[in-house]
């Protein structure tokens, strides 16, 4: 169970983070959905392609950060390196929970730091719009995966603690799969999803659970 805990936590964080995804990605999902062909099955296929591309970007970023964690672990005694990296992951999980709950939006600073990279990537996606082929949707999804997001950045810190490229990629893939139901539903029910995401109680519940995940991770580190 201890082996699977990081992946289960990543999946649940992605699922609970849906209250944040509506605000962060709702406009993107709405714009991409409105530009798709009218056919229901075809439109759903395009949405899957968007999200597959996004998950590929998450997995790539997770592999890079996991590989970095492996290098850090080799540069210091393994036990202490693992404890430090796991502790850092727990701290960021707590910060993420406070962010989701609306109690302390500290992670917005990280999102601003990523804004410079997104400013260079976002114009590339315009070359593939309007989307009329599945491969166009896939490429747009790959680019979408690099939008500045506090949830993703927190998971990347956790990927460093995994201590391996494959493990880091798997962690971000688990997180991405957790976000998938929210974003697919958002494409079909954007208005209702936005109203649901405005619920303070839902934000508090999601944030509180993620804080508990972070505290448990800190407990493991100590």
Q: What is the pLDDT of residue 59?
A: 96
Q: What is the pLDDT of residue 20?
A: 63
Q: What is the pLDDT of residue 196?
A: 53
- pLDDT tens track for 148-164: 777 888 888 889 888 78
Q: What is the pLDDT of residue 180?
A: 85
> Is 16 inside a domain boundary?
yes
How far is residue 195's CA from residue 209's CA, in Å, rounded to a whole number? Answer: 21
What are the Cα distances from residue 112, in Å, to 117, 119, 127, 147, 179?
Answer: 10, 11, 25, 11, 21
Tokens of 127: 């070359």
> Is 163 inside a domain boundary?
yes
The total domain count for the chain is: 1
> Is 174 inside a domain boundary?
yes
Q: What is the pLDDT of residue 177?
A: 94
Pair 151, 96: CB distance under 8 Å = yes
> Is 40 inside a domain boundary?
yes
> Is 1 inside a domain boundary?
no
Pair 182, 21: CB distance under 8 Å = yes
Q: What is the pLDDT of residue 208?
A: 77
Give the domain extent around 148. 7-221
> Is 27 inside a domain boundary?
yes
Note the helical H segments in the chain: 5-16, 18-34, 40-74, 78-101, 108-113, 115-125, 134-144, 150-162, 165-188, 190-197, 200-221
> Is 2 inside a domain boundary?
no
Q: What is the pLDDT of residue 222?
A: 72
Q: What is the pLDDT of residue 77?
A: 63
Low-confidence ranges of the chain (pLDDT < 50): 191
What are the Cα distances from residue 134, in Å, to 120, 143, 185?
Answer: 24, 15, 19
Name 212's Cβ contacts closer than 8 Å, sequence gap at least 6.
97
Cα torsion angle, 14, 173, 110, 122, sign: negative
How far is residue 105's CA from residue 30's CA, in Å, rounded to a whole number? Answer: 25
Give this prediction's pTM.
Answer: 0.77
Comparing CA positions, the residue from 155, 142, 135, 196 lying closest to residue 62 is 155
37 sits in the region (left: phi over 0; alpha: psi -120 to 50; else beta) called: beta
């Amino acid at each position: 169970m201890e082996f699977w805990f990081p992946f289960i936590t990543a999946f649940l964080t992605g699922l609970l983070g849906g209250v944040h995804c509506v605000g962060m990605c709702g406009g993107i999902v709405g714009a991409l959905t409105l530009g798709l062909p009218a056919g229901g099955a075809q439109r759903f296929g395009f949405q899957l392609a968007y999200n597959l591309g996004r998950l590929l970007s998450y997995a790539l970023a997770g592999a890079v950060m996991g590989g970095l964690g492996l290098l850090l672990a080799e540069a210091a005694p393994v036990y202490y390196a693992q404890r430090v990296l796991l502790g850092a992951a727990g701290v960021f999980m707590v910060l993420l929970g406070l962010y989701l709950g609306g109690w302390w939006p500290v992670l917005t600073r990280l999102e601003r730091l990523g804004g410079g990279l997104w400013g260079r990537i976002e114009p590339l996606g315009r070359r593939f719009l309007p989307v009329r082929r599945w491969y166009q949707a896939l490429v747009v999804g790959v680019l979408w995966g690099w939008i500045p997001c506090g949830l993703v950045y927190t998971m990347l810190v956790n990927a460093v603690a995994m201590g391996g490229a494959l493990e880091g990629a798997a962690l971000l893939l688990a997180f991405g799969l957790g976000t998938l139901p929210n974003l697919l539903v958002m494409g079909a029910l954007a208005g209702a999803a936005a109203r649901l995401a405005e619920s303070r109680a839902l934000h508090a519940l999601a944030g509180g659970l993620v804080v508990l995940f972070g505290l448990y991770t800190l407990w493991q580190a100590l």
